[in-house]
């Protein structure tokens, strides 16, 4: 057998070592080393057709693998969801919480802190709301929520400090279109994108996930105002908060004193300062769901607010007056005072949207009045209307000039 034939046979029998696994970070691909004898021999004359074909095949395979690795790296870099399995962050307050963000840092705690830092008012205070796709889809609750900031007295600037916490991927993608501070809190194995009806299993999971997440925000050292998205912001609420309270919360029914523990709280709006007392309180609140299974966070709060442990940790609770922080359960009567109005005591998305639009119409009508008529408080709310429950008080009908036209689109 000639030397050229022996060389071809040796090359044919050679096997390339297995290529390294291509990770999402795209490990460098190292082709097999070429045989020095092959190099020296082939340089002296033309390679045989068999050798040339094998080299072309090897080059083709190398190109395909390199391109595949590059595509895999690009797609991995574009993924925004980071799924953390329950318990995978040992002894961390973020266990059972799944974060999403477009930050390059792999640490979910750092990701959340970056979003909060970008939205902070300056003294580590942020405004938070949670949304699923049913609430953030076009022409839904979130559009009215943002519009209220635009129409409110001194509230438009506060939007820059609002973080929208998306509970599903669709909500997050929609948030990126309409707002600049977005963060995702998704629960593995649970689909929150549909409307979660009151007291259904998904509703309860959503509410308790929210409580656990808010504790995590406190542990990062941030004070927050939490607001449901079905709350219209008409004035800056910060001047109405109590300076000495750790935890202050709106009410379905306010009995006249901010210290009266018989007030009925509503978890849709609260202002919480970050300290050891508030962190311990949120831990206790969240763990109490096991003591009262089947109850949502608001009902559990109403049960534990007089618990001795609250006094033991020294938590200072204050209840917010419905004159400033009203809702459909107990509306703020004076539009000269109102800061926020909540579409509470309301069931069903259509009813909620209808009455929220009426709120914005009534507010616009109030703003259109000359100062002297505003001070006379001749305008009040026409809500609740579609949200009316038998237990809700109905207010006197408004004069003919209060028949405001349907809400105009901006």
The predicted-structure confidence for 66-122, as pLDDT tens digits, reads as follows 666 555 544 433 333 333 333 333 333 333 344 444 444 457 788 899 999 999 998
Tell me whether the omega of the peptide bond preceding residue 323 falls within 30 degrees of 0, making it cis.
Answer: no
pLDDT per position as a tens digit, 135-155? 888 999 999 999 999 999 999
pLDDT per position as a tens digit, 35-56? 444 334 444 445 566 677 777 7
Q: What is the pTM of this model?
A: 0.71
Instruction: List residues bridging with 232 in a β-sheet.
Output: 341
Rounded distance between C-alpha atoms, residue 249 and residue 264, angstroms: 10
Q: Tell me, what's the pLDDT at 207? A: 80
pLDDT per position as a tens digit, 52-62? 777 777 777 77
Token pair recorded at residue 198:
């009151």
> What are the residue ranges spanned by the domains of the chain?
108-388
Select from 59, 73, 64, 61 the least CA-distant residue to 27.
73
Per DSSP, helices labelled H in 349-390 are 349-367, 371-375
Range name among 68-77, 218-227, 343-352, 381-390 with the lowest pLDDT average: 68-77
SS3 of the chain: helix, strand, coil, percent, to 5:
40, 15, 45
Helix (H) or strand (E) holding 407: none
Task: Flag whether pLDDT at 375 surpasses 80.
Answer: yes
Give every CB contact of residue 225 below 8 A, 6+ residues apart in sequence.
125, 126, 127, 128, 237, 238, 269, 270, 271
Instruction: List residues bridging with 136 in a β-sheet.
Output: none
User: How buried is residue 243: exposed, middle or buried, by Cβ count under 10 Å (0-12/13-18/19+)?
Assistant: exposed
Pairing of strands 264-272, 247-253: antiparallel
pLDDT per position as a tens digit, 161-214? 999 999 888 999 999 999 999 998 866 655 544 444 444 556 677 788 899 999
Per DSSP, helices labelled H in 103-224 are 108-119, 133-136, 141-151, 169-178, 201-219
SS3 category, 326 = strand
Assigned superfamily of 108-388? Spore Coat Polysaccharide Biosynthesis Protein SpsA; Chain A (3.90.550.10)
């Amino acid at each position: 057998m000639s030397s050229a034939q022996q060389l071809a046979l040796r090359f044919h029998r050679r096997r390339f070592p297995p290529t390294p696994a291509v990770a999402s970070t795209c490990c460098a691909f190292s082709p097999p080393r070429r045989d020095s004898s092959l190099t020296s021999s082939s340089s002296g004359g033309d390679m045989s057709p068999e050798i040339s074909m094998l080299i072309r095949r090897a080059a083709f395979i190398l190109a395909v693998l390199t391109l595949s690795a590059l595509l895999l790296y690009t797609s991995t870099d574009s993924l925004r969801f980071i799924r953390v399995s329950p318990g995978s962050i040992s002894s961390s307050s973020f266990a059972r919480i799944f974060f999403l963000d477009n930050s390059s840092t792999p640490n979910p705690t750092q990701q959340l802190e970056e979003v909060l830092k970008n939205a902070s008012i300056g003294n580590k205070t942020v405004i938070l709301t949670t949304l699923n796709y049913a609430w953030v889809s076009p022409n839904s609750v979130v559009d009215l929520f943002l519009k209220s900031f635009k129409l409110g007295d001194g509230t438009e600037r506060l939007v820059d400090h609002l973080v929208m916490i998306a509970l599903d991927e669709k909500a997050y993608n929609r948030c990126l279109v309409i707002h600049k501070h977005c963060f995702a809190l998704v629960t593995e194995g649970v689909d929150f994108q549909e409307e979660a009806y009151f007291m259904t299993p998904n509703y309860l999971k959503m509410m308790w996930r929210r409580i656990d997440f808010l504790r995590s925000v406190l542990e990062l050292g941030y004070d927050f105002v939490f607001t449901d998205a079905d709350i219209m912001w008409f004035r800056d609420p910060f001047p109405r908060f109590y300076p000495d309270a750790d935890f202050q919360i709106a009410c379905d029914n306010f009995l006249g004193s901010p210290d009266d523990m018989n007030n009925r709280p509503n978890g849709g709006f609260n202002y919480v300062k970050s300290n050891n007392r508030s962190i311990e309180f949120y831990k206790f609140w969240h763990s109490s769901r096991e003591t009262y299974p089947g109850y949502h966070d608001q009902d559990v709060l109403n049960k534990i607010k007089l618990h001795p442990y609250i006094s033991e940790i020294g938590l200072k609770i204050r209840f917010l007056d419905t004159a400033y922080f009203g809702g459909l359960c107990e509306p703020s009567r004076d539009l000269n005072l109102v800061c926020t109005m909540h579409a509470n005591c309301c069931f069903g998305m259509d009813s909620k949207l209808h009455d929220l639009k009426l709120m914005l119409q009534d507010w616009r009508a109030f703003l259109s009045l000359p100062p002297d008529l505003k001070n006379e408080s001749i305008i009040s709310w026409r809500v609740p209307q579609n949200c009316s429950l038998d237990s809700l008080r109905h207010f006197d009908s408004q004069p003919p000039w209060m028949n405001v036209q349907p809400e105009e689109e901006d």
